A and B are shown apart, each in its own frame.
Chain A
Amino acid sequence: MSTQVDTIESFATREYKWGFITDIGADSVAPGLNEDIIRLISAKKQEPEFMLEWRLRAYRHWLTMTEPAWANVHFPPIDYQSIIYYSAPKSKNDGPKSLDEVDPELLKTYEKLGIPLHERELLAGVAVDAVFDSVSVATTFKEKLAELGIIFCSFSEAVREHPELVKKYLGSVVPYSDNFFASLNSAVFSDGSFCYIPKGVRCPMELSTYFRINAKDTGQFERTLIIADEGSYVSYLEGCTAPKRDSNQLHAAVVELIAHDNAQIKYSTVQNWYPGDKEGKGGIYNFVTKRGKCLGVNSKISWTQVETGSAITWKYPSCILMGDNSVGEFYSVALTNNYQQADTGTKMIHIGKNTRSTIVSKGISAGHGQNTYRGMVKIGKGATGARNYSQCDSLLLGDKCGAHTFPYLEVKNTSSQVEHEASTSKIGEDQIFYCRQRGISNEDAVSMIVHGFCKEVFRELPMEFAVEAQKLLGVSLEGSVG
């Protein structure tokens, strides 16, 4: 007779199929961090003076800070002097001017990952900015978007070509002094994506950034800045993978979103950084600050995330609801398997009148995984008529994993409504057996139950991403239940 308990365990033994390494010449700086390194990064990127000044201010501030210890995650101290802060794939010129100049090895890598870089292959209508280690290597569909006045380019290019926009908005949502990892990012960020949607424009395609860490011992510090001007709309997707390495690699990104009057930003993430092996060795430390500001009236920012990768995830995509009637949403599926740890959630800061927020968090824990939801809902004095609804559900697979929920509620007026619901359930051996007795295999039974659990969040993802996310979840859970 086959043993169901074994299958719960063997679910954890699947392979990480994105773990290959691309053999490509890299232009890296020496490990370690000091003002010279920051000057070097800034010089390599031919940045204007204000940018360097900002970086140095961030660095000096960072030196006064200590790593936060409040999250429910555990890891040995990080040696910030052993990290390489800049690594770029070598190319003929200083930067690729078009796709033809991009290293064929690199294109092959993206092909393996299923990222359609070549525009002719782009039937799906997704414009991609691909970030490999520290630099942005290609941005597709740029011209077509430019016709509408949309700027979609690498961060470095934005700093050079649109310094006035960068100067105005950079750090306006996540200041360089915000937190330890955000300050570090502000000092050393190497690239990322920049996007500006002009007044009244509805971006006709999904914009997408694909991040990949390739070089060993490097940290990836990218920054994304999206500005949706009055009455505009954009849907933005972000995906990530990394090779398998025994040592931990740091990823400390910052994402800032700004929505003006009547503008909408939908930001979706499928995060699949290397999670480490089944003994918990290696993997990415994903320490990310994501925040959006609903600056204008009736604006809306919606975060959807599917977090299946990384050894440790520390991430709270948040919304500052300043404009009256503005709306913030957070939909999340976080999965931890083997020895993965996740401490993730959101902050909804209600400032404007009649602001509304919705939080739906689904945590899945398998193997020895530890999953924490941490969410804050803060309703200010002036945020009269504000409403929040939060729902946090946890699903446990097996009996060695854990789920934790830490909601923080702070309400400073009497006309607001806050609702919080939470549940914890477990996939039981009897449920699996019931499915199997009806002819449904173990894996299919688990994925059926897990998908049922995540349905509400997947519904929020753009179609192709939803399919991708479902597949990913299936792979990430393979062998973990029975």
Chain B
Amino acid sequence: MLEIRNLHARVSEKEILQGIDLTVNTGEVHAIMGPNGSGKSTLAQVLAGRDLYQVTEGEILYEGKNLIEMSPEDRAREGVFMAFQYPVEIPGVSNLYFLKAALNTIRKNRGLPELDAMDFLSLVKDRMKLMEMDPSLMNRPVNAGFSGGEKKRNEIFQMAVLEPRLAILDETDSGLDIDALKIVAKGVNALRSPERAIILVTHYQRLLNYITPDYVHVLSDGRIVKSGDKELALELEEKGYTGLELEAAI
């Protein structure tokens, strides 16, 4: 589904990704871990198409298509979803209206008819239950006045409504207390499917106690220095990033 080859990317003059190779197949869950500044979030942003980051070398194939050439909205319509690390507030636009507009552009792209208000509402209610969200949040402006935890939950809730093919979760676990973390993990697990791939970008092993990845990759200085299964995350927890980097250097 996703094929990243020798990916180099920079922000202004600073090269952050220095040759990433990664293959993700449908049905798989990949965890990308690494210390601060290793390029985890940059990778997520590059996949979503943020133009702050310039791709200087390499390629990204998504279902055989050149992802780099696609606009962010086209990627989204083709099924790429990113849960933001810092979801922004959009005053004046209700959550419900926003999500309906998003869902209908994506459905249109898939050749599906637009959902009417009734069908949309019942879908929303169902997914809200999954994420244990307060229904009053839906009539509030997008993310406005949401607590940190509510924002993160709202991201996974949006994912549950939009049903992407490839979901990239950028540090969705950061800033969550244990209860909120469990709800987020429950939501993500419910969305695991043979038709969908998920990339979890995270700093801590904690999230992986609740979402078991098929693969774990360790990023350091813009390169994947080690890949393995879920055991790698535990090893990382024990030795720390520096221990692992030393090993990789030898």
Binding site for B on A (CB under 8 A): 1-5, 425, 428, 430-431, 433-442, 444, 448-449, 451-453, 455
Q: Is the CB of B101 within 8 A of A440?
A: yes
| B48 x A425 contact (CB < 8 A) | no
Known pairs A434-B84, A436-B72, A439-B105; A448 contacts B91 (CB<8 A): no
Cβ contact within 8 Å between B87 and A442: no
**Residue pair A449, B93 in contact (C-beta under 8 Å):** yes
* Interface residue from A3, A4, A444, A455 paired with B92 (Cβ < 8 Å): A455
Contact with A along B98-110 (1 / 0, CB 8 A): 1101100110010
Q: Can you pick out 27 interface pairs between chain A and chain B where the beta carbons lie within 8 Å of each other?
A: A1-B51, A1-B54, A1-B55, A1-B68, A1-B69, A2-B51, A425-B91, A430-B88, A431-B88, A433-B50, A434-B142, A437-B49, A437-B76, A437-B84, A438-B98, A438-B99, A439-B77, A439-B105, A440-B73, A440-B98, A444-B101, A448-B98, A448-B101, A449-B92, A452-B91, A452-B94, A455-B92
- In the complex the two chains form, is A437's CB within 8 Å of B90's CB? no
Task: Identify the 5 closest CB pairs spanning chains A and B, nearest first.
Answer: A452-B92, A438-B102, A439-B76, A436-B72, A452-B93
Given contacts A444-B101, A453-B92, contact A439 B51 (CB under 8 A): no
A428 and B143 alpha carbons, distance in the complex (Å)? 15
In whole angstroms, what is the CA distance A442 to B50 when docked? 13
Q: Is the CB of B72 within 8 A of A433?
A: yes
Residue of B nearest to A2 (CB): B71
Q: Is the CB of A439 within 8 A of B90?
A: no
Contact partner of A4 (CB less than 8 A), chosen from B51, B68, B77, B105, is B51
Take A1-B71, A448-B98 as given contacts and tell me if A439 and B106 are in contact as well, using a CB distance cutoff of 8 Å: yes
Q: Which of the residues A4, A436, A444 comes within 8 Å of B76, measured between beta carbons? A: A436
The size class of the interface chain B forms with chain A is 35 or more
Q: Across the two chains, which residue of chain B brings its CB closest to A427?
A: B90
Nearest Cβ on chain A to B77's Cβ, whole angstroms: 5
B68 pairs with A438, CB closer than 8 A: no
CB distance from A364 to the nearest CB of B (A): 12
Alpha-carbon distance between A155 and B137 when the two chains are bound, in angstroms? 53
CA distance A3 to B71 in the complex (A): 9
Q: How far is the CA of A4 from the CA of B49 in the complex (A)?
A: 11
Nearest Cβ on chain B to A116's Cβ, whole angstroms: 30
Q: A438–B158 contact, CB under 8 A?
A: yes
- A452 with B55: in contact, given A434-B87, A437-B48 (CB under 8 Å)? no
Counting residue pairs across A and B whose Cβ atoms lie within 8 Å, the total is 85
Taking a contact as CB atoms closer than 8 A, the residue among A430, A436, A438 that contacts B71 in the complex is A436
**CB proximity of B217 to chain A, nearest CB, Å:** 23
Q: Assess the A437–B72 pair: CB atoms within 8 A.
A: yes
With a cutoff of 8 Å between Cβ atoms, the chain B residues found around residue A448 in the complex are 90, 93, 97-98, 101
Q: A439-B77, A440-B105 are in contact. List 7 more A-B contacts (CB 8 A).
A: A1-B51, A1-B54, A3-B51, A437-B84, A438-B102, A439-B76, A449-B90
- Nearest A-chain residue to B86, judged by Cβ: A430
> What separation, in Å, do the CA atoms of A455 and B97 have in the docked complex?
13
A19 nearest CB across to chain B (Å)? 31
* Chain B residues positioned under 8 Å from A453 (CB to CB): 91-92
**CB closest residue in chain B, given A3:** B51
Decide yes or no: A439 and B82 within 8 Å by CB, A1-B55, A434-B87, A448-B93 being known contacts: no
Any chain A CB within 8 A of the CB of B162? yes
Scan B18-54; emit 1 where CB is below 8 A from any A CB, else 0. 0000000000000000000000000000001111001
The answer to whether B102 and A440 have CB atoms under 8 Å apart is yes
Which residues from chain A contact B76 at a C-beta distance below 8 Å?
436-439
Contacts of A449 in B (CB 8 A): 90, 92-93
How many whole Å from B163's CB to the nearest CB in chain A?
A: 12
Neighbouring A residues of B54 by C-beta, 8 Å: 1
**A436 contacts across to B, CB distance below 8 A:** 49, 71-73, 76
Cβ contacts under 8 Å, B55 to chain A: 1
